[in-house]
Each structure stands twice: as structure tokens, then as C-alpha cells.
Structure 1
Amino acid sequence: MTQIHPDTRPETPGDGAVPPQGEPTAPVWFGQTQEITPPAGRTYEPARDDAAFGRPGVAGDPTRPGVAGDPTLPAADAHPAYPPLSQPPAGPPPSFPTRDGAEPAQPGKRRRLTELTAVAALAALLASGGTYAAVQVADGSQPTSVASTSTLGRGANAGPVVQADATNPNWTATAAAVAPSVVAITVKSAQGEAQGSGVIIDAKGHILTNNHVVSGAGPGTSITATLNDGRTYKATIAGTDPSTDLAVITLSAAPADLKPIAIGNSADLKVGDPVMAIGNPLGLAGTVTTGIVSALNRPVTTSAAESQQQQDPFGQQPQTGSDGNTVVTNAIQTSAAINPGNSGGALVNAAGQLIGINSAIASLGSSGGGQSGSIGIGFAIPANEAKSIASQLISSGKAKHAFLGVSLGDATASDGSSQRAGAQITQISANTPAADAGLRKGDVVIAVDSTRVDSALSLVANIRERAVGDKVTLTVLRNGKQLNLTATLVARASS
């Protein structure tokens, strides 16, 4: 099984932090090209569900070094480009994976394992880069209150919760319960259109989706949402958050019979739990796939370049971002098939409760035989994080993010009896949560609230998952001894 083992990377420039010596200093910037940073030697490929707005592709930037090559794996090729959605691809249909994500064996031919390419739920050409942002420098600002999340996914018209046992799920009942709460999103412009997915989260017509689904919507574009029963409504953007790849749109004339989804507690998930993905892959609304939770707390990095480009196989484009940040998600990994167009759709448990927003997949590059789309490795933003961000976007149109105030690198340290991998503190800024907690340069963080941290990226993902004002217990190794330090997270300056 392929695992994600991120390498050491510097902190985003502009926050006063100094990256570890020996590391590349060029970060990955936000913009239109989204990519997921994989372990050494594996390149995640960007993709998204935004429209073809006549933008050229991103060229590789030689100033942005990529992840060091893995000698055990060949280099991956970029996905081939296909026509826009209005022009179906010519030639034979795409090759779909088997249930476990593996392609059937071919007699007389031994397939080599190629680079994994992660995409924001819509396959795209390979983008350059390979660094990520460490935890941002604090600005000293205090947590601010946001709208309560208790009303999201609730109310008289809330979608029903299926009475099902995780050991014996009734997927027919689950699909019937959840389908009315999932919509197909279409973004149209003079140059073309794009399709994605979204989830109804309240009776007022607020729909949660991925930022990269709607970020291409500008002057002269329109957004519509089509309900499960075929009714289509105009929508406007209530707020976007490129840092978490989440957005909320609002139906302009929400009907009275909307069925908001029931939102579960993603903290209760366990590896092996059965899950269902439902969305609008390739424009096929209401598509349902099932699988299990393959892993939890999987650090996944996506980034974007400012240039606006036509990147994906169906004329759609990668994520847009303008703040220079990097999306780092403490993701749910699932074997449920997630394909182009599933972005922003629901990942639910056997009871029909939302536990994640589908946002990215891993796929093989063309050197692996040309297979794109799902290979049984998909990623979703945990529902708890999505719910918190959504409530802020509804309240103010933007979201605040927690941070620690350090620069990081990958390292191993002794706990007195064995070696432990973790995130090494390479610099601490004054008047930050890290400084107040007593962290020191050289400390190696190995856990956050008892959740294992085995890399710098893992620590970043754990911190970004939390809310402003949260208290976290950091388990660190210092001079062979294990210490527990408590930090109270504050808002990042760019928030």
C-alpha cells in the first residue's frame, strides 16, 4: 500500500520565518494550479472542477524544486488533455479501476508502480513545485467569535439519518436519505462551463462545496445548483476560503422543501468504517460509490499558482487562490471511488451523516498505462473542520485560521529507548503560541493531543484543522526526554 511520507519543506515566505538550512526556499503559491505534495519520488497531480475559461496551462517553474526522486519509482507523466465537457473525449472509454483500486493484471505484462498523482477531484496536467507552508507567524490577535455551527445540518427539513449498523450498512437506504441533500453545481462563462458537487447544509439555501469548484466564477459567469429532483436554481457565492479549499454558495430563491444533510462528528471515525461518496462525477449527478475509511489524519498538501490556466482533461481548471497560502488538510483517506466532478460532494457514514467533503484523489500518471480518475485513494476534508469554516463563511464571508508561530523541518529524535520521527522546531517567533507554550528550537514534536505527528507536514495539518482559541497539547522530545506542552492557538495574521 502506498503511503504518504512528506519530506522536509520551508515555511511560506513573508511571515518572518526562516526555513531550515539545506532546504529549498521557494514555496508553492496559491493560484489556479492545485497540486498535492506526496512523499519523495511521488508527484501528486492537480485537478479541479472549475470551468474552462480559456486559460493556458501552467508551465513548470525551474525555480521551484520538487520533491526528491524515489529511485524505486519511475517518473510520472502528466495526464493527457481532453476536450471540454460539451465535447466528449474521442476514442475508447476511460479505464476504470477494480473495487480495491487496483487495475486488473495483464498476462505477459508486469505493470510497474508509477507515481501517484493527487487531484482536487478533477484530473489535470501535472503542475510544478513541491514545497509547503509551515505554521504561520502569529500576529498576536485574539480569537473572535463566529456564528454558531449548531444550526448547520439541522432543522425541520434536515435530511433523515438512516438507522444502520456500521457492520451491516444498508446502502440503498443511505443513498435514498442523502441524495436530496447533494446538488450538482455548474459554473458557466462565455468560454465554457464546469461542473462540481455541493451539499445543502441548512434550510436557507446555503450549500457547502470546494473553493476550487467556484473560484473561477468572476464577472460574466453564472453559478447554478441542480437539486436531486432536477430543479435548478441560480446561486451566488457567500464566501470562499482558499486556505482550506472550502466555499459556501447561496441559492438565490431557496425552495421551502430543501433537505439539509445531517452532519456527523468526524472525530468519531475509525479506520475501516464503511463510507459512501455521492456527487456529480463527470456530470453524472447522483452517482454513489462505497468504500471504507482507509486512513485518518492523512496530511495532504495542495497548492496553486496565480496564473489562470486550462489544466484538466475536461477543460476545467485547478484551484484559484490569491493569498499565497498553501492548503494543508488533515484528510480522511477513503477507498470509495471519487472521480472528476466529485469535488465538494458528500462523504457520509452508514447512518447517512456527513463526515467529510470530497476534495482530492490520487491517480496514476500516463506512464502507468494512461489510467486516470479513481484508483481507490481519495481524500476528504473532515466534517468538523468543514462545518466550522462554513459557519464563518456564512457569517462574514471569510474564515480565520489557527496557527502556532514556528518554522519546521522533518527530523528524528530519541525518546530514551527508540527513535521517533516528528516535526523539528527550527525557529520560533516571539509573542506566538509556540513561544508562550515553552517550545524551544530543536524540539521535535511527535504528537498533538495524542494524535501522532511524524513529519513537519503532519504538524501543519493538525494545527490547521483546529479552530482559533483551541488549546492543544504538544508532545515533544527534548534531549531524550518526553515533555507535554500546552499552547492556545490564535488567529493567523493573514486571516
Structure 2
Amino acid sequence: MTEPQRPLRIPLEEVAVVPAQSMDTARFTPPPASRAQESHRGRRGGPGWASLILAMILAVLVTLAVVFGVWGAQSPFATAPAMTGGSSETTDSEPADVVEPVEATEGAPDWQAVAAAVRPATVSILVEGATEAASGSGVIIDSSGHIITNHHVVSGAAQGGNITVTLHDGRLYSATITGTDPTTDLAVLTLDTPPTDLTAALLGDSSTLEVGQPVMAIGAPLGLADTVTTGIISALDRPVAVSSSADSAAQAQTEVVVTNAIQIDASINPGNSGGPLFNAQGAVVGINSSIASMGSSSSEAGSIGLGFAIPVNLAKSVASQIIETGSAQHAMLGVQISTSSVLVGEDNRLGALVATVNPGSAAEAAGLIQGDVIVGINGSSVTSGPSLTGYVRRYSAGDQVTLDVVRNGVQQQVLVTLQQR
């Protein structure tokens, strides 16, 4: 395997904080006087006042040192020890250091502070499969060395191969696939021998995002690790359909990945896949997954300001299932759908036309019929078939959702309990 290209890096100033040291709490006791001293004191007819006063002063000073030493270690003003170099006293039972939120600033975000804070939680990924090689990015999520990335980044090694993860400081580690989910194009890797000084990303809440909000992407576009780009959220819940190759070597099947994605104008290119998308406080809000391209093939793809990220709330759900069980389960409505327009009162609007209702499905149990047009789910507008699919895949089997359904020109609400896909 060729040695991965080391990224150019701008040194950042670090201020080390010295931790409060524990104090020896043993009581100070002056040494016993010798017989000669006692005899001498007896002849003088009084105690050794200078010695007694000195002993009392020392005892008071030691007691105060102990009190202030303990208070300093427990005080809310005490600062945690700084992580320096590549070593740490963190044990396997302790949680990883988590990226500290960057304080909000007036005006433009402080992207320098954000980049400095989050870079330790980002990684580059090199995959060497049996017949192909691929590269991408990822984000560390815990002290066990679990990393979220895209399924399409690591799928080439699903049937055997080598995965090498490069940390932000250039250290190399081998990794294995914990599990993948082609349905959402997400995967979880685990470092084979994770170091004790990992920094985990701060995972945010994608449900609070707004159009126009500033964001930052970090990844390895075209193999250039630690590349930072910034932009804004151009749209939310953008239905994006991408073909994803199946893991099975026995069949060359593909599955269409449909995601109601975060659309961004931050520049991302091949190699950014699987990397994190951050908000201005340094919290992960998405996993970069795909781009729109004017080219006719992936080899001609390049940034044209239309990038897409998987919302972090979906990524968190899928990753937790993969870590716990090795796979992820998804909800299913049980209909065949297409995009259509429908007349609601005097207004024409887009929605998802129900072409077929599967027997025994959640849709049949809820009373949906052929010809219904679904225009909303749990308060969110449905404007196409892929839009409905993207929303349903955010839920789990057993979840109840309220559908806005237009039937014979009349809009009504239908409560559906989703089934397992």
C-alpha cells in the first residue's frame, strides 16, 4: 500500500493548563525531642517556645494547603487537564474527550476556532478492496473508535480488503466494518486498536437547521486530507436519489438510496464522502454524501455548489443500531407511489400518488386506497414520491405518523402505524 499523502497543516497555538495536583493529607508532627533536650528544657524551667510556635505555624500552613488543594480539584472553576501530544491518561472505561462547543460570535462565524476545535474528530479513510480502491472521510463518535462514514466509501471492502484510517495528526490505524446500511448509505467502522486519546465529535440536532444557516465541511477531496470548506444551507429536506451497490459479490444489484437531504453550497468533491458537516458551534449536523454534477460519470464529477448531506439525526439512529446489533432496521408504509399533482379545493399541488397498496401492509391497515395522494406527513409537506420515501425512512417500525391525504378532492388526516421494512 502506498503511503498516504500527508496534508499541509497550519500550526495552531495551544495553551496548556496545568492540572491541580493532589496534596499529601498526612498530619504534620514535629520529631520527638531527645533526652538531652528534655533535660536541658527542664533545667531552664520552661518549654521550648520557639519550637512549639514553629510547629504550630507549619501545621496551620499544611492544613490550609490541603483544604485549598482539595477545593481546587473539586471547584467548578477548576480546568480539565489539557491533552498534549499523542498520549493520555484516559482509560478504556472513561469517555472520550468530546469537542467543546465554540462560543457564538456576533457577525460571521469564527471558522478558525471551529476548525481548530473539530479537526481532531475527523479522519481520512483509504479502502483497498479485492478489485478496487476508494477513499473518503469520516467522523469519530466515541472512545471505542467507532467512526461514521458512507456505505459507498467502504462497500468495496465488505467481502475482504484493507481499511486504513488516518487521524488528523497523521497517525495510521487499521479498521474493520462494524456494519453498513445501504438503504441510507451509512456505515460504521471500528479502529482495530484505538488510541486512548481519541476526540469524539459533538453530535448536533438536524431538526433545528434553517435555510441560510452557515455550515462547514471537513474531508479529503481528491485525497487532500483536512480540507475545510464553508458555505450555507441552501435547502432542507431535498429529496435525493443515488444508486448504491449491494454488498453481495454474488449479485451485482443496486439499491436506490433516497434521502431528504441537507443541500449545501459549500464546496465538496469526491473524497468528501462520509465526512462531517458542522454548524458554527462545531456540532455535526450532517454527513456529506453526494453532489450534483454536470458530468456524465463520477470520474467527471466536481463541485458546482450543489452538495448533499445526510441529516445527523438519521445518522445517529442508524449508527446506534449498527453498533448494538450490526445492522439497521427501517420503517415501511407498504405502497407503490409516484409523483403527481392533485386538486385540493381551488388549489393544485404536488404530492405522492398511491399507485398500489400492498396486502397486509401498514397502509392497508390504515385504510389507504389506490388513487390517494399523500401531501404531508407529521406536518411536513410531501411534494413527490421520493420525498415521502425519504420521510418514512427517518422513522422506526412501530412509530405512528399522521398523513395528510387527498381523496376525491377532499383533504383528510390518516393515522398510520409503520411496519418494519
Aligned to 2:45: none
Corresponding residue to 2:355 among 426, 436, 448 = 426
- Asked whether the 8 Å contact 2:158–2:177 carries over to 1, the reply is no
Return 5+ residue gaps in structure 1 as ranges. Answer: 1-50, 52-83, 88-153, 310-319
Aligned to 1:392: 321
Aligned to 2:152: 212
Distance in structure 2 (CA, Å) of the matches to 1:450 and 1:300: 20
Residues 34-433 of structure 1: pairs in structure 2 closer than 5 A: 155-165=95-105, 168-189=108-129, 193-218=133-158, 221-304=161-244, 325-365=255-295, 372-433=301-362
Tell me the matched-pair count: 332
What TM-score, normalized to structure 2? 0.74
The Cα shift of 1:324 comes to 5.2
Distance in structure 2 (CA, Å) of the matches to 1:381 and 1:441: 31
What TM-score, normalized to structure 1? 0.63
Query: Relative to 1, partners in 2 of residues 1:475 and 1:371: Cα closer, same or farther, differing over 3 Å?
Result: same
The Cα shift of 1:221 comes to 1.8
Query: Relative to 1, partners in 2 of residues 1:389 and 1:414: Cα closer, same or farther, differing over 3 Å?
Result: same
Q: Partner of 2:199: helix, strand, or coil?
A: coil
Query: Relative to 1, partners in 2 of residues 1:428 and 1:289: Cα closer, same or farther, differing over 3 Å?
Result: same
The Cα shift of 1:488 comes to 1.6
- Asked whether the 8 Å contact 1:166–1:274 carries over to 2, the reply is no
- Asked whether the 8 Å contact 2:155–2:247 carries over to 1, the reply is no
Distance in structure 2 (CA, Å) of the matches to 1:306 and 1:204: 28
Output the amino acid matched with 1:259. Answer: T
RMSD: 2.8
Distance in structure 2 (CA, Å) of the matches to 1:197 and 1:186: 9
The Cα shift of 1:416 comes to 0.7
Return 5+ residue gaps in structure 2 as ranges. Answer: 6-93
Distance in structure 2 (CA, Å) of the matches to 1:303 and 1:166: 42
The Cα shift of 1:191 comes to 5.9
- Asked whether the 8 Å contact 1:198–1:209 carries over to 2, the reply is yes
Distance in structure 1 (CA, Å) of the matches to 2:251 and 2:109: 39
Distance in structure 1 (CA, Å) of the matches to 2:106 and 2:385: 34
Q: Partner of 2:157: helix, strand, or coil?
A: coil
Distance in structure 1 (CA, Å) of the matches to 2:125 and 2:292: 23
- Relative to structure 2, which stretch is displaced further, 460-469 or 449-458? 460-469
Query: Relative to 1, partners in 2 of residues 1:289 and 1:466: Cα closer, same or farther, differing over 3 Å?
Result: same
Aligned to 1:143: none
Distance in structure 2 (CA, Å) of the matches to 1:190 and 1:422: 44
- Asked whether the 8 Å contact 1:182–1:200 carries over to 2, the reply is yes
The Cα shift of 1:156 comes to 4.8
Output the amino acid matched with 1:349. Answer: N
Query: Relative to 1, partners in 2 of residues 1:385 and 1:323: Cα closer, same or farther, differing over 3 Å?
Result: farther
Query: Relative to 1, partners in 2 of residues 1:447 and 1:228: Cα closer, same or farther, differing over 3 Å?
Result: same
Query: Relative to 1, partners in 2 of residues 1:219 and 1:408: Cα closer, same or farther, differing over 3 Å?
Result: closer
Q: Partner of 1:440: helix, strand, or coil?
A: coil
The one of the two structures with greater contact order (alpha-carbon pairs below 8 A, sep at least 6) is: 1
The Cα shift of 1:284 comes to 0.9
The Cα shift of 1:464 comes to 1.3
- Asked whether the 8 Å contact 1:407–1:427 carries over to 2, the reply is yes
Output the amino acid matched with 1:327. Answer: V
- Asked whether the 8 Å contact 1:330–1:465 carries over to 2, the reply is no
Output the amino acid matched with 1:430. Answer: P
The Cα shift of 1:200 comes to 0.3
Compare CA radii of gyration and give the structure with the larger one.
Answer: 2
Q: Partner of 2:337: helix, strand, or coil?
A: strand
Q: Partner of 2:255: helix, strand, or coil?
A: coil
Distance in structure 2 (CA, Å) of the matches to 1:222 and 1:198: 16
* Identical positions, percent: 52
